[in-house]
Structure 1
Amino acid sequence: MPRIESVPLHQFVGRIRKDGSTPFAPEPGRYHFYLAIGCPYSHVIAIVLNLLGLDSAISQSLVDDLRDARGWAFRPLRGPDPINGFAFLSDAYMASRPSFVGHVSCPTLWDRRTAQVVSNDSHEIVVDLITQFDEIATETVDLYPENIRADIDALSSRILDEVGIATYLAGFSNDQADYAGKVHALFATLDELEERLGKGRFLFGDRLTESDVRLWAILARFDIAYHSLFRANLRRIIDFPNLWAYARDLYALPAFRTLSDFEAIKAVYWGMFPTLNPSGIVPVGPLLNWHAPSDRTAKAGI
């Protein structure tokens, strides 16, 4: 569904609160995520759920890999909607608010109890998963330490705007100078992250945080899609010594490895944008050795 610029991008912004200040309490079995396998924001949600041990308390299902003019749909490839039997994800939005007009996106968080969409704001959803479900989570990893939350928020915002969204803006630019400026700005931020990762194992030293999960979702897509399809091609991630080793280090962690289907991600991107890839041909390569040892923990100062 085309984005309608006159309305907010996220019209569903409900928050989950364990103090009872909102209608949505953190309860096992109450919520369901609609995710898309190619979507980096959905990828972040899936990994966070796994890292926190919430993937059995909050169910998830996938929409079809490709989105047409009617928006995200439920088709045989990924199976029907297991919660409501909707044909399209937009049906969930209309069931929640019959007057809804706007952007339908993944991830979408659905409340089984009140039969409505809670939120499609992925940033706020991640924060609520980390901070409000601690009594339900079966893992104790702290992805959002209170003493550095402002720093995490600031870095995650830069990763989203200056790397994630920047690749799309470059790919869909119709002006040579505009495109070149966006690509150079994108790689300037990647250079900063490269330097930062030369000083610590993760973005915040030895602590794995939600910023790492957000960056991973971009790095996992960069060389197989963004580099060629979006013409973000000054360099590949494998050309950055620290970023590439960092990406392999994350991939060695079960949550990242088991929830990253590179071939499916590649097929989605090369099939989703006919204006950029009219033939629909999905490249055979590149061949990336994700299993090569990263040696991150053996580096001096890490």
Structure 2
Amino acid sequence: MSATPLAAHPSAHQSVGPVPAFRGRIGRDARSGHYAVPRRYRLHLSPADPDGLRIAVTHSLLGLDRACPVTFLPAVPDCPDGGHSALRPLYEASAHHYTGPALAPVLSDDWSGRIVSTHGPDIVRDLARHFGGGRTSLYPCGRESEIEAVERMCAQGIEGAAQRAGAAGTGESERTAALGALLGTLGVLDQGLRTQAYLIDNQITAADVELWVALVQLDTVHRHHLDADAVRRIAGHPALWAYARRLAAHPAFGAHLDLDGVNRRHHARCQGLEAAGSAVQILDWATHSTPGTDTEAQVGKV
């Protein structure tokens, strides 16, 4: 399997260069190359990373502990290039003369000892479509376009806007415009959640996983680079944050929330300046989250 050069997802307030990414997919039968077989595949991820958190929550919602084991990685990568030494053998087996960082998340094939995919959205979709077994429908039939719309809102209207609003070295007008875009997106979502428990079909879907992770990042990462007034305005969406609190109490969500890991990962990677908003926490995530096994204690475990 070859590696295709694609841009990696940049972390908050830090840019990374292009790195090889793997975009294999799990299919329905042997003709697809990677077909769905229980315990053939393995996830390697850190819930302190947004992609890793999305995948971990999805994995738990689908009940895939036996069908697709997980190896948890440290919150902060142990290699100078930002990669994980534990993933180096997989990368080297999957790409000839690979010299780049061994990044997570990874979906690997235990049969071949190679990487199937490092693309978080593809991994989430393939797990849901081919291993869900009817336990829960994270992608309800006919609602794909709505889920994709939520994904865009989260990526552009929350994550992207929050990064621009808190970026150092940008002009006041640009930061104001970015904050306006962020507040506008939160307002739309808050309005919808005033009359329904979840975003689509009144059930938990992939859209809820996407939004919840974006809200976690907003309060635990992006808030530190915004001024106090901006954070108070962000917090002024009661239905939205009540929804985030409610999902945090769900075992599939809250059990994977590694607050200490998120904090250490952020401080290890972030190059931005801390602002007054750092002192204005929106949710007490530790209080509302379902207790789970300490992720750091699970590092390297199946």
Provide the identity percentage. 28
More divergent stretch after superposition (266-275 vs 244-253): 266-275
The TM-score with structure 1 as length reference comes to 0.78
1:246 positional shift: 0.4
CA-to-aligned-CA distance 1:240-285 (integer Å, 9 cap, x gap): 11111101111121111211122332232133314546xxxxx788
Partner of 1:149: 144
Whole-Å Cα distance in 1 between the matches of residues 102 and 159 of structure 2?
19
Equivalent in the alignment of 2:153: 158
Residues 55, 231 of structure 1: alpha-carbon distance in 2 compared, 3 angstrom cutoff: farther
* Equivalent residue for 2:50, pick from 35, 40, 43: 40
Q: Which amino acid aligns with 2:17?
A: I
Residue 70 (str. 1) matches residue 88 (str. 2): no
> How do 1:114-263 residues align onto structure 2 when only pairs under 5 Å count?
114-135=112-133, 140-176=135-171, 177-229=173-225, 234-236=230-232, 238-263=235-260
- 1:71–1:90 contact (8 Å) kept in structure 2: no
Whichever residue aligns with residue 65 of structure 1, its letter is A
- 1:269 equivalent in alignment to 2:266: yes
The answer on whether the counterparts of 2:48 and 2:259 sit within 8 Å (CA) in structure 1 is no
Equivalence for 2:61: 51
Unaligned runs of 5+ in 1: 74-86, 278-282, 293-302
Q: CA deviation at 1:117?
A: 0.9
Rate the CA distance shift 1:202–1:159 in 2: closer, same or farther, 3 A: same
Q: Distance in 1 between matches of 2:258 and 2:144?
A: 30
Q: Is the 8 A contact 1:43 1:217 kept in 2?
A: yes
Shift of 1:215: 1.0
Deviation per CA, 1:2-52, whole angstroms, max 9, x where unpaired? 7334xxx66311010123332111112111112123211110101111111
Q: How many residues align?
A: 269
Match of 1:83 in 2: none
Letter in 1 for 2:91: Y
Residue by residue over 1:151-177, the C-alpha shift from the partner in whole angstroms, topping out at 9 and shown as x without a partner, is 212222221232123333444453213
The change in CA–CA distance for 1:208 and 1:95 in structure 2 (over 3 A counts) is same
Q: Secondary structure at the match of 1:211?
A: helix
Write the distance in 2 (CA, Å) between the matches of 1:288 and 1:216. 13
What's the counterpart of residue 291 of structure 2? none
Note the aligned Cα RMSD (angstroms).
2.9
Cα deviation for residue 225 of structure 1 reads 2.1
Between the aligned partners of 2:272 and 2:221, the Cα distance in structure 1 is 15
For residues 230 and 107 of structure 1, the distance between their equivalents in structure 2, rounded to whole angstroms, comes to 28
Amino acid at match of 1:122: G
TM norm structure 2: 0.78
The offset of 1:103, in angstroms, is: 6.8
Aligned counterparts of 2:235 and 2:182: Cα–Cα separation in 1: 16
- Structure 1 residues 57-85: Cα deviation after superposition (integer angstroms, max 9, x where no partner): 21222333224642222xxxxxxxxxxxx
What residue is the counterpart of 2:107 in the other structure? 109
Greater Cα offset, 268-277 or 186-195: 268-277
Deviation at 1:119, TM superposition (A): 0.7
Provide structure 2 residue ranges, at least 5 long, that are not aligned to the other structure: 1-7, 9-14, 289-302
CA distance change for structure 1 residues 285 and 71 in 2, over 3 Å: closer, same or farther?
A: same
SS of 1:125's equivalent?
helix
Decide which of 97, 118, 124 is 2:95's aligned counterpart. Answer: 97
Task: Determine the C-alpha separation between the residues in 1 that align with 2:163 and 2:132.
Answer: 35
Does the CA-based 8 Å contact 1:156-1:211 persist in structure 2? yes
| Equivalence for 1:79 | none
CA deviation after TM superposition for structure 1 residue 144, in Å: 0.6
Structure 1 residue 231: deviation in Å? Answer: 5.8
Tell me if the contact between 1:168 and 1:230 (Cα under 8 Å) persists in the aligned partners.
no
CA distance in structure 2 between the partners assigned to 1:241 and 1:199 by the alignment: 12
- 2: CA distance, partners of 1:198 / 1:246: 9
Q: Is the 8 A contact 1:4 1:103 kept in 2?
A: no
Q: Which amino acid aligns with 1:123?
A: P
